[in-house]
Amino acid sequence: MIKKMLKSDDFKLKNCINYIFVAAATVIFAILNSTGGLKTSYANLLVQIGYSIILAVSLNLVVGFLGELSLGHAGFMCIGAYIGTFISIQLNTVIDSKVICLIISMLCGGILAAFFGFLVGLPALRLKGDYLAIVTLAFGEIVRTVLKNLPWFGKAMGMTTGAVKFTKKDAPLFIVVFITVIIVLFLVQSLVRSKHGRAITAIRDNEIAAKAMGINVTFYKLFVFVFAAFFAGVAGVFYGHYTTPVMYTFFSYNYSIEILVMVVLGGMGSINGSIIAATLITIINTMLQKYLPGELAALKFLIYALILIGLVIFNNAPKLAAFKEAVSFKALLAKLTAKKRRPEDILNDPAHWDKIPTKIRMDEVLSTDIQPGNEYVPDKPEKGGK
């Protein structure tokens, strides 16, 4: 299945635009970090943006491409953050490299999150709509409640990750995060553009018709759910290596809604939209936390809600459709790449009238006059409409 995913499409530049942008951002910020021009706060913001993109793109598979509403993504992230980071702490006593510990714990945290995704998805995906949302929401709340009461993870005080937390002396964590983002984008886009991706979107459009066409609906639903849960667990491992302590309060119902908002604002089924929305929402949250301290922090959610309402109106208002099309990336790119035609270009056009060979000269055609009495008169229809 993976081989077919990778061979699904011929190479096209437009399919690689997001890779190019993420890779360029990685190189630019890595150079700034090496020269001391990148502040620690901005490096931390880049890590947040990176794991937010992974969460949004993976949830878009479930919500946007499969058409199922899941509110348990924060629960899978919680599994990766607690268990994956715990594994990394144990490995750190044996392996001296934090990067190697991070890579191994990413795989472990992702696989464990995918395993729980399989256990939850097998019965839950038989439900639809609000019922599935309620079950996944309950799963997320159960997971964080159980993990916060286990002694290995520090209980309600949180799990201290100082031994594996990346500091300024270590390799920049955002570089590993952005490389992982590129891998995630490659795997997700390969899946979406393959025949399996077409089967998944067929299930979203009409499940009954998909079954009638012989598509294994249960398999594809479970596969997408497990696939997305794996990447949510990977994002949780990044969070565990970015902050200390890992607190269960972070993985609440509100965070699942925030990830869903990233998907909806970016556009259901739009990978590039999820990248942009995840970046914008993460920056907005960070800026509001920075500039609204103390008692003003209560205004954060009000301003955040107003910004989201404005974005939703801008994204869906019919009267703004022409403006959105004019300022879209595709329109701007067309303007930049468009060639201005000069008068000599028109004369040298191979399709110019004097360069097209004809049996009758153009001046003869233009000088032909219609003689009186030779006008064309159509035949009158016979009786019966014949």
DSSP string, 357-375: --SS-HHHHHH--PPTT--
User: Are 136 and 71 in contact, with CB atoms under 8 Å apart?
Assistant: yes
Record the tokens describing residue 13, joined without a space: 């530049």
In which band, very low, low, confident or very high, does the pLDDT at 303 lie, cut at 50, 70 and 90? confident
| Stretch among 2-6, 21-25, 103-107, 202-206 having the lowest mean pLDDT | 2-6
What sign results for the dihedral spanned by CA atoms 82, 85, 87, 89? Answer: negative
Highest mean pLDDT, choosing among 97-101, 233-237, 331-335: 233-237
Q: Please report the pLDDT score of residue 234 as a whole number.
A: 94
Band (188; pLDDT cuts 50, 70, 90): very high
Average pLDDT on 56-64 reads 92
For residue 336, give both structure tokens: 């930049």
pLDDT in tens, 103-157: 999 999 999 999 999 998 888 878 877 888 888 899 989 998 998 888 888 888 8
Cβ contact 77:136 at 8 Å: no
3-state helix, strand, coil in the chain (%, to 5): 75, 0, 25
Q: Is the peptide bond before 245 cis (omega within 30 degrees of 0)?
A: yes
Whole-number pLDDT of residue 267 = 82
Whether residue 300 contacts residue 292, with contact meaning beta carbons closer than 8 Å, is answered with: yes
Q: How confident is the model at residue 164 (pLDDT cuts 50, 70, 90)?
A: confident
Count, in order, helices (H) and strands (E) of the chain.
18, 0
Q: Select the more confidently predicted residue: 150 or 360.
A: 150
User: What is the Cα–Cα distance from 14 to 12, expressed in whole angstroms?
Assistant: 6
What lies within 8 Å, CB to CB, of 160 at 6+ separation is: 154, 244, 245
Name the burial class of residue 178, with classes exposed (0-12), middle (13-18) and buried (19+) by CB atoms within 10 angstroms of its CB.
buried
119 vs 111: CA distance, rounded Å: 12
Is the CB of residue 57 less than 8 Å from the CB of residue 192? no
Record the tokens describing residue 378, joined without a space: 């159509």
Asked whether the predicted pLDDT for residue 237 surpasses 90, the reply is yes
Residue 286: the pLDDT is: 85
Amino acid making up residue 5: M
Cβ neighbour number for residue 16 with a 10 Å cutoff:
14
Write down the H helix ranges in the chain: 2-6, 17-34, 40-60, 73-79, 85-92, 98-124, 130-148, 173-192, 195-205, 207-212, 217-242, 253-266, 271-291, 299-316, 321-327, 329-337, 343-347, 362-367
200 near 220, Cβ under 8 Å?
A: yes
Classify the phi-psi angles of 67: left when phi > 0, otherwise alpha if psi is within -120 to 50, otherwise beta.
Answer: left
Record the tokens describing residue 312, joined without a space: 């939703």
At residue 344, the pLDDT reads 59
How big is the CA angle at 108 (ends 103 and 111), to the nearest 5 degrees? 125
